[in-house]
Amino acid sequence: MSEVNFEAIVIGAGMSGSWVAKELCDNGVKTLLLDRGPEVKHLRDYPTASKYPWEFEYRGALSNDHVKNNPIVSECYAYKDGATHFFVEDDVQPYTQRQPFEWIKGYQVGGKSLLWARQTQRWSKYDFNTPYTNQFGISWPIDYDDLAPWYSHVEKFVGISGEKDGLDVLPDGEFLPAKEITAVDKHLRSIVKENYKDRHVIYARCAHLTEPREIHRKQGRGQCQNRTVCERGCPFGGYFSANSSTIPWAQRTGNLTLRADAVVHSVLYDEQTGKANGVKVIDANSKEEFDYYADAVFLNAGAINSVAILLNSRSSRYPNGLGNDNGLLGKYFGFHNYRARISADCPGFEDRVMDGRSPTNVYMPRYVNINRQSETFKGAYGVAIYTARYRKQETKRLGQDLLNDLLKDKNFMPWTIYSMMMGETLPKEENMISLNENKVDQFGIPLVHFNVGYDDNDEKMMEHFYQQWEEIYDKAGFTNIQRIDTGQPPGRDIHEMGGARMGKDPNDSVLNKNNQLHTVENVYVSDGACMTSTSYQNPSLTYMALAARAANHFLKSRK
């Protein structure tokens, strides 16, 4: 192949794009992998990974001025001194909005796979069926059985710590041993088991190598060290990232060409063949334009940027964006509702303290609206549950006096519990992203415009969560129960979904069951943009499974 001709081009070297590249390169396909950010090479480019807290100016916190200049990205849980270089500051890629939206971005090779919360839950048959059983949106063109083997394929390679729970609402996967949970977690689990037949407190499955297998050692990865500073990049490869796993694996085949600092302007369309034949790229540093050509193009730039690229890919055949005959591209954009939280104190465990650290927590899968809509709201929610007992911050003593004081039980605060609703939002036509034709970025590309917001269904789901968990906390003997509504805008959940949804009918969807554009079969959208509905689970595992499945569909079509 020449320097500009390839068999496949993958746009986005993050969570899903690296999986497409791995699958293609494993099968001999000469692949170009593009990312708009700089290269981040495993081990070499983790400058803060081994620093101690006292080596940071503010012990890992951010200065007031920095937060003031970056009010959006500063709201992200992982945006700390030591990880800011893996995020995009607020003024780098501006956008416009009709309603408040917080777009949190990680532009580098590896994308947000360096920064994710690493929670990995499969969808179940109920999640794929929810639009039908709860009567909203359109039906998925695939079901759980279609994706189950790809979940297994991904889980074995990634490495997922979990337990076999035997729940049909949250299917089991290919698991490594689980980590320990706290005494309060165990108490809550027993209370829920005693009082509720339809609810389960389980270990929250996470992408950490608790006991590496041979496939992980072949990747050059080692066991998770429980350092809980994952957002800096892990030199052990203890958690899954594209940088430590899928990208170097693809590179070792000799079939991958990786180009960083490559901002994709649009997908090139050949009017004669009716197919895409490449992409137009702008060098992020020099602003020079390049065209690359290939038999197939995979969009994995993240739901927002993938949709924006398609909208900006205009031709006489597609004046409103590539594959956008029905005008639905950018519409039915989804996210997760993380506004509702509830906290309490946990008396009765004064003889127990935290021993060590863990990168995970416990979790309650969906328990309402399963086979039919049984509540006043549509859709489902799950619950992430965190329990902890922290030390008091002691700053007045030094040396042996400090050590003696820390060893006393009185220096521990009470046990607390904090539960967060992870709510499904409904796909709505008015929830959409588009291009602002009057404003462009530094590359001359129209800015993304958001019109995304909550609705009455979200409020009803939150009230249900509050009532149910006040009851659970009360049965568990917890006190000082507090409802919390963060009031956060959509986007802070960082689970962007939809905008190019899959479907059975070209009239009401953008993609077919294989993630191909209905009208341009050699263009695949294999990231979160393809989602027909959102369900409630952390979506990264599903994105990776869909990406691997789409790549293998392309491989079969070539044969």
Task: Write the pLDDT tens digit of every residue in 352-391.
Answer: 988 888 999 999 999 999 999 999 999 999 999 999 998 7
* Structural domain includes residue 2: no
pLDDT, position 394: 64
Q: For residue 3, is it within any domain?
A: no
pLDDT digits (tens, 9 = 90+) for 237-288: 999 999 999 999 999 999 999 999 999 999 999 999 999 999 999 999 999 9
Report the CATH number at residue 18. 3.50.50.60
Q: How confident is the model at residue 75 (pLDDT cuts 50, 70, 90)?
A: very high
pLDDT over 70 (residue 58)? yes
Tens digits of residue pLDDT in 6-48? 999 999 999 999 999 999 999 999 999 999 999 999 999 999 9
pLDDT at 411 over 80: no
The verdict on residue 334 lying in a domain is: yes
Q: Is the pTM of this model over 0.85?
A: yes
Q: Per the domain annotation, does 414 fall within a domain?
A: yes
Q: Which residue segment(s) compose the domain that 174 sits in?
A: 8-558
Has residue 492 been placed in a domain? Answer: yes
pLDDT digits (tens, 9 = 90+) for 330-359: 999 999 999 999 999 999 999 998 888 899
pLDDT recorded at residue 51: 95
Could you tell me if residue 227 is inside a domain?
yes
Model confidence pLDDT, tens digit, residues 122-176: 999 999 999 999 999 999 999 999 999 999 999 999 999 999 999 999 999 999 9
Whether residue 1 is predicted with pLDDT greater than 60 in this model: the reply is: no
Mean pLDDT computed over every residue of the chain = 96
Distance CA 185, CA 209 (A): 22
Mean pLDDT across the stretch 98-124? 97
Provide DSSP, 42-111. TTTT-TTTT--GGGSTTTT---HHHHHH-TTGGGSTT--TTTGGGS--TTTS--EESS--------STTG
289 SS3 class: strand
In 3D space, the residue among 540, 506, 548 whose CA is nearest the CA of residue 524 turns out to be: 548
pLDDT confidence tier of residue 59, bands split at 50, 70 and 90: confident
Phi/psi at 440 (5° precision): -125, 160
Q: What is the pLDDT of residue 395?
A: 65
C-alpha angle 509-372-535 in degrees, rounded to nearest 5: 50
Tokens encoding 380:
């489902």
Q: What is the distance between the alpha carbons of residues 538 and 335, in angstroms, rounded to a whole number?
A: 11
The one-letter code for the residue type at 462 is: M
- 16 near 32, Cβ under 8 Å? no
Tally the domains of the chain.
1
Q: Would you say residue 248 lies in a domain?
A: yes
Residues 82-92, mean pLDDT to the nearest whole number:
95
